[in-house]
Structures are given as structure tokens and as C-alpha cells.
Amino acid sequence: MSIRALIWNEYVHERENPVVAKIYPEGMHRQIAKLLGADPEITASTATLQEPEHGLTQKVLDETDVLLWWGHARHGDVAGEVVERVVNRVWQGMGLIVLHSGHFSKPFKRLMGTSCALKWREAGERERVWVVNPKHPIAEGLGEHFELENAEMYGEPFGVPEPLETVFISWFQGGEVFRSGLTYRRGAGNIFYFRPGHEAYPIYFNDDVARVLRNAVRWAYNPQADLRDPTEAPNVPVDKALEPIKIRGARLHADGEEGLR
């Protein structure tokens, strides 16, 4: 049984910026799909902002085990309805991998509940990604560290909640450091934030980056059945209590009532 990964891309810079178009003539989503497709256990498909409902209909999301998210220039164009759909699927158990500038995407900010802000600098400097959690499944097959010769700098403080686990910390030539690989769980969904990816450099042609993405898809995948409705908040009537109980004191609500939101 293969893991159904969906790479979502706003697909803007590849069409509008000649530097990016040269690196990713088919779009970053197709390049990432190639990297994931090298794993026989992953089936990779793609969707873009320009498609109806951004390619993220309920049906498409229901048939997605792990969603990868690339956004940068058009975070604001992502419809609120689609954001809620994605968030609900994460709560149900769909995995989510947020790439690089996706730190400011609507789904990620909504799931983190914080600013998700960071420092940055575009100078093509060297990045050394340190594996700080060497037995973590996302770091499987990597050495102590790997390097990206040309990278955009992201620096701390990174405005995210304390993660479940820190897998990578990056050092940059200019001196900053950044928590480059962070895991979260929201509802039943596993979330991984992965920093490398700036589109002006061929980051998604790097073998170590490819390995991390494949590992992350496997890690984020939850083979158990999805939670049907994570927003459900049912009332349990007194006579349905597991042990016999009597009502004591006053009540605001009637048995079986829907309750307040």
C-alpha cells in the first residue's frame, strides 16, 4: 500500500521570474514529485493555486495521506475555505510538510497560532544543516550534517510554538542559526516544517534534501483510519453514563442538547 503524497505549489515565481524558471522549468511541484517518486512506497501527485479550489477539493484532500506545501508570493490568495479544509484534514490525521517560505502560509500560521516570523537574508551563503536528533526517522541515512553551498539565510528567533522535536539546526556563513526541521502534532496530524528550499537556488536537486523529504513523508504518514469529525463535541445524556449517576445541582443544558460554540 503506497503513501499518497500531494505537493501543493502556488506556482508563481517559476512562471514570473527568469532565474527561477531556469532552475525549475516544470515548476517546483513537479521536481519535488520526482524526488518523492524515487521511493517506491510513495505515490506523488501535484496541485497548484491556479486550479479550481486551488486543486484542493474535499475529494482530493480525502485521498491525500501527506500534503506538502510550497507558498511564497501569494499566501494571501489562498481562500479561507480551502485553508479550513486543509486544517480539518490535518486534525483528522493527514500529514503536513511545510516547506521554506511556507512558514508564512495560512494553513501553517493557523495550525501554529503564532506569528511564524523570522529573520532572513538573500546572499547565496553556505548553510550547514546539523542533524541534532540523529536517530529520528526524518534524519535516517544522513550524516552528522549536510551542506547547501548557496542558500537564503533564515535566522532566529523563529516565531513558532515550542516543537515536539527539533530534528535539524542550520548554521549560516553569516553567523546566524535557525531551527530548520521541527515536528508538531495538531489533532491527529503529524506536521514537519523543513527550512531549505529558496527558489533562486537549486535546493530541490540536492540528494540530502531529497532524502529528508522522502523520510518526512514516511514519518508524517498515519496508516490508521482518519478521525471522522475532529470538531464534533457531543453531549452524553445522564442515562447513557457508563456508571449509574443522578443529576445533582442545577443544569444549564438539557440531555442531548447540541451545546454552545
* Footprint of Zn ion (CB under 5 A): 101, 152, 198
71 or 93: whose CB is closer to Zn ion?
A: 71
Calpha distance 173→236 (Å, rounded): 58
CB 161 → Zn ion: shortest distance, Å? 22
Q: What is the closest distance, in whole angstroms, from the C-beta atom of residue 201 to Zn ion in the complex?
A: 9
CB of 238 to Zn ion, least distance (A): 56
Tell how strand 189-194 and strand 95-99 pair up: parallel
Q: Give whichever of 100 and 214 is closer to Zn ion, judged by the CB atom.
A: 100
Report angle CA 188, 79, 214 to the nearest 5 degrees: 45
> Residue with CB nearest Zn ion?
198
Minimum Å gap between C-beta 102 and Zn ion is 10
**CB of 168 closer than 8 Å to CB of 129:** yes
Q: Which residues make Cβ contacts (< 8 Å) with residue 9, sequence separation at least 6?
A: 27, 28, 29, 32, 46, 47, 48, 49, 70, 71
Nearer to Zn ion, 102 or 163 (CB): 102
Contact criterion met (CB below 8 Å) for 45 and 3: no
CA distance linking residue 237 with residue 241, whole number of Å: 7
Q: Which is nearer to Zn ion, 28 or 44 (CB)?
A: 28
Q: Which is nearer to Zn ion, 65 or 152 (CB)?
A: 152
Instruction: Classify the C-alpha dihedral 30-32-34-40 as positive or negative.
Output: negative
173 Cβ neighbours under 8 A, 6+ residues apart:
125, 126, 127
CB of 132 to Zn ion, least distance (A): 22
